Chain A
Amino acid sequence: MRLKIIRIITIILFLIVILDLFYVQAIRGRYYYNLSKNNRVRIVPLEGWRGRIFDSTGEVLADNIVSFNVMITPQEIKSKQELFSFLADTLGITYKKIEELYKKKRSTPFAPIVLVENIGREKAIILEEEKYRFPSLFIQESFRRVYPRGADTSHVVGYVGKMNKQKIERFKEYGYSPQSIIGYSGIEEYYDSYLKGGYGGLQVEVNSRGEQVRLLSFKEPVKGQDLELTIDSRMQRMAAESLDERPGAFIALDADSGEVLSMVSSPSFDPNVFKKAISKNSLKGLSSSKFSPFLNRVIKGLFPPGSVFKVPIAIAGLDTKKITQHSSFNCLGFYELAGIKFRCTHIHNYQNLIQSLAHSCNVYYYRLGMILGADIISKYARLFSLGKLTHIDLPYEEKGFVSSRRHKVLQGKKWYAGHTLNFSIGQGDLSTTPIQLTRMMATIASDGIEVQPHIIRKIGGKLVDDYNSKRKLKIQKQTFDIVKKGLRETVRSFSGTAHILDIEGIYIAGKTGTAQTSGNKEDHAWFVGYVETSKKKIAFCVFLEHGGSSQNACLTARQILLKMNREGII
């Protein structure tokens, strides 16, 4: 009887085993089969080298250099102490630091970790020679992005880094992986899809230690495309030197083609710090600085244009035939409206249009503004694409704002005559970026042909002609001639506001601007103008944030132009 029970218990136990075998192998078999396949096949992604970036003279702005990383497979470590003290001695890092790094990065015993990034070639060679003593150790070769021109070109070129969370979400459909290096800001970001190398990789069969048993397939990674920019790195250097870390901006634009020859925003940052491992502190310093070095002021900085805005108003007056070049207004030093005095810088007495530009007479433009009215001023400001994106090939451009009566009314506010007066001298609800004003000047210099500013010249050796489109403004050439005369007088005439820029042998014309700012801060200083040579016209802009009088901007412009002249650029 009891033997029978034992027999039954035995049968039940075996039945359980067989049923479980059936469940695991027949029902869940497919699932485990896939797991076993994943167990043994590893994809080792190889990223192609990122394309390099050159300036217009063939100088390298962004390059790749081979770097060496120290990698460790935790499972293979025989004696931690021996290995760590060897690494500490060779790399010149303390033992404690290495231990710390190891603890932080270790995840699973099988997965190799990058312990120290970017060690020098000499150290890599030493480690490679001693490797036989430490089976867990190996040296990984990878590339590191370097920017030989450093801070001079950082706003144009941008920088690269590992993917962050938002980028992973946005880009995972486009063949980026979380380990991808991706461009942040500037050309590196805007043309990332061209610069990025194509993924290749190894498909290897591995054993439980992650050691390669055999190669299943190999796809060679594709190198990214090289870019050639319109930027001239010599001008970058000159402008950066002259701005000398003062908050401000410089931009030079070929008025005929729209090529941006130089774009400097100051203060700047060294893009090389982002790839170094140890520079967390310097990064913190950069991003917390009140001068916001990461802000590319040329395309993102929004400032009132001040007197520079008188140029489109003058064109508006001529084009609408409200005035001629000989129409004069008497400047008594102020303009009175409803008992409030709107001041001028001097008492200019009788001024015609050309004088008014040269002397930057406020009263002239108060009167002209009152004649034209706010609507026409807004219309002409928009005609010169103020308050609109220039669609330059850089990310995160700001479009600024041009006020109008309709906008005020839509907001439920009233437009007063005082608003028009402020508007007439480029103050009030008006914000522009340096690149917008520079393009406006370029349009004037080339008699109403508006170009498309751009930085790219060649991608992978092929000329990019997407940016050659031009727009012709419907304004008579005669109008531009008169205004250009005024702009030239600004520099040439002894009483012109930018006479300091009257350099022999260079044809410079332009307009100064001193834009008032809210609060007790210094005014913004502007000089926007163009240089004309027999070969080309270059519009440029010097902007100093809270730089005081426009004279400071003129002085900086003079420095830069003199250097350019010396180097034979103009």
Chain B
Amino acid sequence: MRRDLGDKIWFFLVAIIFVGLVALYSASCDNVRVAQNIFYNQFIFAVFCLFVMYILQNIDYRKFYDVAYLLYIFNVLLLIWVLIAGKYTLGAKRWIQIGALNFQPSEFMKLSLILTLGRYFSKRRANISFGLLNKTQLLCRDILIPFFITIVPMFIIFKQPDLGTALLLFGIFLAMLFVSGLEYRYIFSFLGICLGVLPFAWNVLKQYQKDRLLVFLNPNIDPLGAGYTIIQSKIAIGSGQIFGKGWLAGTQNQLNFLPERHTDFIFSVIGEEWGLLGAILTVCLYFFLIMHCLNIASQVKDRFGTIVAVGMASILTLQVVINVGMVMGLFPIVGLTLPFISYGRSSFLVFIIMIGFLLNLSKRRTIF
């Protein structure tokens, strides 16, 4: 039983990585816009990452508990550094360069935040006493402090600007807050306040972010500008129909109509070349992977483990659903990668660490 769960996760993960490499090969094949070597880069990196994961699954996940806060502080400092001295790519400061290494601290922030919130929430005890003072304390302890922990990196990432990742952090916070066992009335009143603040948030957005949101509502207002990506990727996916155009035969992909098709829009390549069958297969692989992650979460007896596992499962869910929804025009374009498939090492590595964590968790779930 124990072996079983870990093996299944391995299986689905390797299957997803395989699908990703196949799609990436097509996206970079024989093309000037997207360099061909990214396929080999990704391939080598994937092998390396699987090796890292193999090691990670044997490292006690409690070690993460110990370093969680430290990691968080270190990561926030990195984010501040990025804001000051980061590298501009495509109009945003997201990258940091150390020697020959390029990486995105905002990707690692996802992991740090999950671990930190997990450690924080796991210490929470059910409330016994009632009273005005205690209520304030409770509010402070259970909502405001974790919210503060979230909003600091969120704000810095938003400043980069990277709206997608910032909102994703908020999503993680909500999911973890939910499983922390806080009473529904607090959760819902907190959500109500957030919704009330939303209209003010509109003014904080940059012009291009506003454009994207408006274009999302109606891509045809600017078919060759901001709406171009949505329209082209919708055409790509839709034109795949049920059986797809065949590998390396997607015209939208091969003729450069799809921008960013090796990163955020890789799913449209899959949809075009492999059709509905390929697309649903890919989505199902993710679905089963996530379901197994949730299985681990429910079987683990350790509170920290459960909360962190839920956080990881929900970040996977959110990224997959938002990314696939985004390329189909179901969500605005927010620049989130498709885990394990999109080209990009920071994102890949972060998710590998998460899975490694979960694998170790699954091994030790019955220890306590």
Least CB distance from B28 to A in Å reads 15
CB distance from B328 to the nearest CB of A (A): 6
Given A20-B325, A208-B255, A213-B255, A3 contacting B298 (CB threshold 8 A): yes
Given contacts A32-B236, A206-B255, 13 further A-B contacts (CB under 8 A): A3-B294, A6-B175, A10-B314, A17-B330, A21-B276, A21-B280, A33-B239, A35-B239, A36-B236, A36-B252, A205-B255, A208-B232, A209-B256
**Could you show 30 A-B contacts with beta carbons less than 8 Å apart?**
A2-B179, A2-B181, A3-B179, A6-B313, A10-B287, A10-B291, A10-B317, A16-B325, A16-B330, A21-B283, A22-B280, A24-B234, A25-B237, A25-B238, A25-B242, A26-B242, A29-B241, A29-B276, A31-B238, A32-B237, A33-B238, A36-B236, A36-B238, A39-B232, A39-B235, A40-B251, A40-B257, A205-B255, A207-B257, A208-B232
A518-B103 Cα distance, complex, nearest whole Å: 93
B324, CB-defined interface residue at 8 Å: yes
Residues 217 to 254 of chain B near chain A (Cβ within 8 Å)? 224, 232, 234-242, 251-252
Identify the closest chain A residue to B272 (Cβ). Answer: A36
Residue numbers in A under 8 Å from B314 (CB-CB)? 6, 10
Instruction: Check B271–A36 contact: CB distance below 8 A.
Output: no
0 or 1 for each of A267-303: is its CB under 8 Å from B? (1 = yes): 0000000000000000000000000000000000000
A178 within 8 A of B: no
B49 in the interface (beta carbon within 8 A): no
- Within the complex, the shortest CB–CB distance from A34 to chain B, in Å, comes to 8
Interface centre among B236, B251, B291 (most CB of A within 10 A): B251
**B84 CB, nearest partner CB in chain A, Å:** 31
Taking a contact as CB atoms under 8 Å apart, the answer to whether B294 and A13 are in contact is: no
Partner of A40, one of B181, B255, B286: B255
Q: Given the complex of chains A and B, what is the CA–CA distance between A370 and B311 in angstroms?
A: 115
Q: Mark A100-111, 1 if CB is under 8 A from B, else 0.
A: 000000001110
Whether A346 sits at the interface, judged by CB under 8 Å, is no
Residues of B near A25 (CB, < 8 A) are: 237-238, 240-242, 271, 275-276, 279
B235 A14 Cβ-Cβ under 8 A: no
Tell me if A10 and B240 are in contact (CB < 8 A): no
**B309: min CB distance to chain A, Å:** 9
Count B-side interface residues using an 8 Å CB cutoff. 45
Query: Is A66 in the interface zone, CB < 8 Å from B?
Result: no
CA–CA, A208 and B178, complex, Å: 46
Alpha-carbon distance between A10 and B290 when the two chains are bound, in angstroms: 9
Distance between A37 CB and nearest chain B CB, rounded to angstroms:
8
Query: Residues 172-189 of chain B: 1 if any A CB is under 8 Å from the residue's CB, otherwise 0?
Result: 000100110100000000
Q: Does B310 belong to the interface (CB within 8 Å)?
A: yes
User: Is the beta-carbon distance between B181 and A32 smaller than 8 angstroms?
Assistant: no
Question: How far is it, in angstroms, between the C-alpha of A16 and the C-alpha of B255 when the chains are bound?
Answer: 30
Residues of A within 8 A of B276 (CB): 21-22, 25-26, 29
Does A28 reach chain B (CB closer than 8 Å)?
Answer: yes
The CA of A353 and the CA of B240, in the complex, are separated in Å by 93
List residues of chain B with CB within 8 A of the CB of A206.
Answer: 255
The answer on a CB contact under 8 Å between A32 and B310 is: no
Assuming the contacts A6-B314, A21-B276, A24-B237, asked whether A29 and B242 have C-beta atoms less than 8 A apart, the reply is yes
Are B321 and A14 closer than 8 Å at their CB atoms?
yes
Smallest Cβ distance from A211 to chain B, in angstroms? 9
Residues of the B chain whose Cβ atoms lie less than 8 Å from the Cβ of A24 = 234, 237-238, 328
- Which residue on B lies nearest to A4, using beta carbons? B298
Is B297 among interface residues, defined by CB-CB distance under 8 A? yes
Q: Is the CB of A32 within 8 A of B283?
A: no
- Asked if A30 lies at the interface with its beta carbon under 8 angstroms from chain B, I say yes
How many angstroms from the CA of A530 to the CA of B159 in the assembled complex? 93
Q: State which residues 36-58 of A face B: CB under 8 Å.
A: 36-37, 39-40
A21 to B328, CA, bound (A): 8
Say yes or no: is A7 at the interface (Cβ < 8 Å to chain B): yes
| Distance, CA A7 to CA B179, complexed state (A) | 11
Q: Which 3 A-B pairs have the closest CB atoms?
A: A32-B238, A29-B241, A36-B239
CB distance from A345 to the nearest CB of B (A): 76
Task: State in angstroms the CA–CA spacing of A205 and B256 once bound together.
Answer: 12
B321 near A17 with CB under 8 A, answer yes
A473: Cβ under 8 A from any B Cβ: no
Contact residues of B between 22 and 65, Cβ < 8 Å to A: none
Residue of A nearest to B297 (CB): A3
Residue of B nearest to A213 (CB): B255
Binding site for B on A (CB under 8 A): 2-3, 5-7, 10, 13-14, 16-18, 20-22, 24-26, 28-33, 35-37, 39-40, 108-110, 205-209, 213
Chain A residue numbers with a CB within 8 Å of B272 are: 36
Contacts of B325 in A (CB 8 A): 16-17, 20
Dominant secondary structure at the B interface: helix
**Chain B positions 105 through 149: 1 when the CB is less than 8 Å from some CB of chain A, otherwise 0:** 000000000000000000000000000000000000000000000
Which B residues between 274 and 310 are near A, CB-CB below 8 angstroms?
Answer: 275-276, 279-280, 283, 286-287, 290-291, 294, 297-298, 306, 310
Q: Is the CB of A208 within 8 A of B238?
A: no
Q: Which has the most chain A C-beta neighbours within 10 Å: B181, B234, B240?
A: B240
The residues of B with any CB-CB pair to A shorter than 8 Å are 175, 178-179, 181, 224, 232, 234-242, 251-252, 255-257, 271-272, 275-276, 279-280, 283, 286-287, 290-291, 294, 297-298, 306, 310, 313-314, 317, 320-321, 324-325, 328, 330
Task: Give min CB distance, B284 to chain A, whole Å.
Answer: 8
Counting chain B CB atoms within 10 Å of each CB, which of A5, A22, A30, A208 scores highest? A208
Known A35-B235, A207-B256; contact A14-B310, beta-carbon cutoff 8 A: no
CA distance A499 to B3 in the complex (A): 127
Shortest CB–CB separation between residue B302 and chain A, in angstroms?
Answer: 14
> Which residues from B are CB-within-8-Å of A2?
178-179, 181
Specify which chain B residues have a CB less than 8 angstroms from the CB of A29 in the assembled complex.
Answer: 238-242, 276
- Chain B contacts of A32 at CB under 8 A? 234-239, 241
Nearest Cβ in chain A — how far from B358, in angstroms? 15
Chain B residue nearest to A5 (CB atoms) is B178
Residues of A contacting B252 in the complex (Cβ-Cβ under 8 angstroms):
36, 39
CB <8 Å contact, B279 and A13: no
A316: shortest Cβ distance to chain B, in Å?
Answer: 74
Pick from A16, A30, A32 the residue with the most CB of B within 10 Å: A32
For the complex, give the distance between the alpha carbons of A29 and B244 in Å.
Answer: 10
Q: What are the residues of chain A within 8 A of B255 when measuring CB–CB?
A: 39-40, 205-208, 213
**Which residues of chain A are near B298, meaning CB under 8 Å?**
3
Q: Of all chain A residues, which has the CB nearest B316?
A: A10
Residue numbers in B under 8 Å from A30 (CB-CB): 241
- Bound together, the chains give a CA A108 to CA B237 distance in angstroms of 24
| Chain A nearest Cβ from B240, distance in angstroms | 6
Chain A residues whose C-beta falls within 8 Å of the C-beta of B313 in the assembled complex: 6, 10
Cβ–Cβ contact B310 & A6, under 8 A: yes
How far apart are B294's CB and chain A's nearest CB, in angstroms?
Answer: 5
Say whether A20 contacts B297, CB under 8 Å: no
Q: Which residue of B is nearest A25, CB measured? A: B276
Least distance between B310 CB and chain A CB atoms (Å): 6
* Residues of the B chain whose Cβ atoms lie less than 8 Å from the Cβ of A16: 321, 325, 330
Which residue of A has the minimal Cβ distance to B294?
Answer: A7
| Most chain B Cβ neighbours within 10 Å, of A10, A29, A110, A206 | A10
A3, A5, A28, A110: the one within 8 Å of B238 (CB): A28
Q: With the chains together, A33 CA to B314 CA distance in Å?
A: 34
- The answer to whether A6 and B294 touch across the interface, beta carbons within 8 angstroms, is yes
- Complex: chain A residue closest to B257, CB-CB: A208
Contact (Cβ within 8 A) A10 B294? yes
Report which residue of B179, B238, B297, B324 has the largest number of chain A beta carbons within 10 angstroms of its beta carbon.
B238
Cβ of A252 to closest chain B Cβ, rounded Å:
59
- B330 near A36: Cβ-Cβ < 8 Å: no
Chain A residues within 8 Å of B294, by CB = 3, 6-7, 10
Q: Which residues of A contact B328 (CB under 8 A)?
A: 20-21, 24
C-alpha spacing A206/B276, complex, angstroms? 26
Are B239's CB and A13's CB within 8 A? no
Select one of A14, A20, A28, A110 contacting B330, CB under 8 A.
A20
- The reply to whether A14 and B257 form a contact with Cβ atoms under 8 Å apart is no
Q: Give chain B residues whose Cβ lies under 8 Å from the Cβ of A20.
A: 325, 328, 330
